[in-house]
Structure 1
Amino acid sequence: MGFGPLHLFRSSKLHRPLCQMLVDNFDLANCSIHIHGRSLSINHVDFELIMGVQDGGSPVDLDGSLDDPDIVELTRKVFGDKEMSVDVLKNLIHNTKKADDTFRISFSLYALAILLCPSTSDKVDPRFLLPLRDPAAVCKNNWATLCFTKLVERLMLFKDRSQYLGGCLVFLQLFYLDSIVSTPPTLYKNMVPATAWGKKESKRV
């Protein structure tokens, strides 16, 4: 679907002081991080390499109408008469017996809401339904670009002190570990950093 090996994701714990340091040293003007006397450029390609989330070639459009009949029907199909929350999605995913279109859409929404483009709310952003109206074309979307763009937007709002910190902070943590460690963990072979770095490997560093 374009989300890579997220089902094997191991780096679920954020080291908050480290993330705060990375955010403080994130240069929004040049899209780079200044750490340990180095200036590291960072972009959507790094997001793709670190997280395993892919760009499929088609821009992700979140500006369409949520009143579109297809979107209304899609919302009803996934959530029924329940609220658009991550708990509803989690239960739906756990109870799905086959990888049908409903599962694809639910998994995509869940991944975006809790990991790739998280916010401080437990509600799912309904705009994420727009690029999911065609489940067969989900893999063609530029997910890495979207997720990195959303991260930068959240960092910008946070630095302006207008909103809480959000976005995929675990990506920044993994980017840091991948950049400074000369000898990666044993599990790193043939794996993206998101699946190689677990609690034990991160704690060692």
Structure 2
Amino acid sequence: MKRLLDLLLCFALLPFLVLPCMVLFVLVRATSTGPVLYWSDRVGQNNHIFKMPKFRSMRIDTPAVATHLLQDPTIYLTPIGSFLRKSSLDELPQLWCIFKGEMSFVGPRPALFNQHDLIEARTQCNVHLIKPGLTGWAQVNGRDEIPIPQKVAFDLEYAQKQSLWFDIQILFLTFLKVVRTEGVSH
């Protein structure tokens, strides 16, 4: 049922997102060198590694680590990188992963392949059995601001409370967070 709803929502959003994605494509291309999309190796359901796209908000020489591990992430941002991140528009290409079935609209955010502490903690709690999401319960409760143990606790809470109604609540809270640009540290 959740997969069907993901597909229906993808197709419903597609006509509204084509033009903004084209504009973002041009803006990223015009303001920095390198590819428009950044494909990162992410950990999905059952700890399967998949490629997740984002509109590139960081320079091409940025180390492949979680942003919070960079000493000063702002020095790596492209001219429109901060805007892309704060508006969460950099996440739009992930609809491709939802369409392919690697992600869902709601679930734990997919960890980077090298976030071993997060991957291990999620595996111990069986959170790795859930399909990762574009947004999630941890996202609406702190996003970049919460430490890994708290993030995993939110992920576990989501796993235990999963329902259509809970997903709708998370999507609504995500919309509010994005509009208010809350929880983005750079």
Q: TM-score, structure 2 length as denominator?
A: 0.31
Q: Which has the higher relative contact order, 1 or 2, with Cα contacts under 8 A spaced 6 or more apart?
A: 1
Higher-Rg structure is 1
